[in-house]
Amino acid sequence: MPRPTLILVYEPEAACRARLAAQGFVEQHALEISSYLAQSTDLPPEFPTIEKACAARGLDFLPLALDDAAKGLAGRPAENTLVWTLTDGVAYFRGGAAPALARLNGLPTIGADDSLFALCQDKFRSGAVLSALDLPVPPAGLASNGEWLAEPPPSSRGWFVKPNRLGAKIGIWPDSHCETLGHALELSRRVYGAYRDAVVVQPYVPGRNVRASFLAVRPETGTEALGIAFVDSDGDFQTMDDSMALYGDTGAQAVADGRYIEPKLSAVADSQPEAAASIRAIAARLMQALGLRDVFSMDFRVEADGTIHLIEFEVCPGLPCFDFRAYCRSQWQMSLPEAMAETAARRFFGR
């Protein structure tokens, strides 16, 4: 009988860029889109460390590029296999296929089921579901290439425009916080022309950016293990340029050039404990109502008076990102490789 094996499925940036180029995307836009997969560039150098941490716990570790996943998962014994999907995606990216492949082969997984991989990547649809659950999400309109598919509500603070299926909260350009709906439609034309995507148009909400991170190293872990931190940087919101300076090949160059300054993290509970408690309650609601489990993250805006706005949830948080590493250290007193290996070992051995 083979040893229990943790299989990590990931989609490389280069494979994504090649597909986008074949679909006619210009090189710069293909580079920008594929940069959302940067954790698949940042984590492989640590595969030997993850393998060592797994071996110390009686496990084998097998990283599989997504294009090899169908063959690599077929015929695996369910009792000795655990599949962890590193990257999601249902439009530009294909990572959402990995948990579906695991299910097709009867293999257990770390993380939510594959239906949530699709839902969280469509911001308009996921916002509608979150709103139906009476959670504090900004209402949204939807526009495509200069035409309204659903008009947004009025707003005294302007609107925030972001691609519907490309990433999450990123506004692409500095003028993504706009003052008129005419400008919002113009942004929808620019997004469609560059990325072939519709845009979500939401009333702009003020506040500080908050990231809530979760990893259930122990299977019975609940929201008491949620890490809730302000993420403070120089800008009000993240643009495409900001995103590309954070991770992957472009991030490494930004660090080398001195263009990247890591955002500062601080615990929300230290200054706004009631807001932190509310965020924990929202996480519990999502775990109960949507089936979030094992590993996920959520993004919020929190105003000075404690008003909370839920921006999005992710079923594949950026594991090698600075904030998730900090969460593993502070909550679990482990490095990222140790936390991943321990999470898998406890699923296999229950200790």
Calpha distance 165→28 (Å, rounded): 18
- For the chain, the domain total comes to 3
**Closest C-alpha among 167, 207, 216 to residue 318:** 167
Tell me, rounded to whole angstroms, the distance of Cα 348 from its chain centroid. 26
Residues 105 and 232 grouped into a single domain: no
Residues 244 and 341 reside in one and the same domain:
yes
Looking at the fold, whether 344 and 212 belong to one and the same domain comes out as yes
CA 75, CA 30: separation in Å to the nearest integer?
Answer: 35
Count of Cβ atoms closer than 10 Å to residue 120 Cβ: 24
Would you list the DSSP string of 236-290? SS--HHHHHTTSHHHHHHHHHHT---PPEEEEHHHH-HHHHHHHHHHHHHHHHHT
Number of Cβ within 10 Å of residue 44's Cβ equals: 16
Rounded Cα–Cα distance for residues 351 and 328 (Å):
19
120 is a domain residue: no
Domain stops at, among 95, 111, 127: 111
Closest residue by Cα to residue 202 from 247, 250, 153: 153
Which residue's structure tokens are 């077929």?
Answer: 74
Question: Do residues 323 and 229 make contact, with C-beta atoms less than 8 angstroms apart?
Answer: yes
In whole angstroms, what is the distance from residue 75 CA to residue 317 CA?
28
Q: Is residue 290 part of a domain?
A: yes
Residue finishing a domain among 94, 111, 128: 111
The answer to whether residue 31 sits within a structural domain is: yes
Last residue of a domain, one of 203, 218, 244: 203
> Are residues 40 and 86 in contact, defined by beta-carbon separation less than 8 angstroms?
yes
Range of the domain at 229: 208-349
Amino acid 173: pLDDT = 81
- CA distance linking residue 295 with residue 316, whole number of Å: 7
Give the pLDDT score at 258. 57
For residues 226 and 344, membership in a common domain is answered with: yes
47 & 156 share domain: no
Tell me whether residue 292 is exposed, middle or buried, using C-beta atoms within 10 angstroms of its C-beta: 0 to 12, 13 to 18, 19 or more.
Answer: buried
Measured between alpha carbons, how far is residue 112 from residues 125, 225, 236, 288, 317 in Å? Answer: 17, 17, 31, 12, 12
Where do we find the tokens 């929202």? 282
Asked if residues 114 and 292 have their Cβ atoms less than 8 Å apart, the reply is: no
Q: Residue 212, SS3?
A: strand
Q: Are residues 336 and 235 in the same domain?
A: yes
Position 233 scores a pLDDT of 73
Same domain flag for 326 and 265: yes
CA contacts within 13 A on the Cβ side of 343: 28
Cα gap 196→145, rounded to integer Å: 8
Q: Do 105 and 152 reside in the same domain of the chain?
A: no
pLDDT by position in tens, the chain (length 351): 679 999 999 999 999 999 999 999 999 999 989 988 989 999 999 999 999 999 999 999 999 999 999 999 999 999 999 999 998 887 889 999 999 999 999 999 999 988 999 898 899 999 999 999 999 999 999 999 999 999 999 999 999 999 999 865 566 788 889 999 999 999 999 999 999 999 999 999 999 999 999 999 999 999 999 999 999 876 655 656 666 665 555 555 555 555 557 789 999 999 999 999 999 999 999 999 999 999 999 999 999 999 999 999 999 999 999 999 999 999 999 999 999 999 999 999 975
- Residue 133 domain-assigned? no
- Does any domain span residue 191? yes
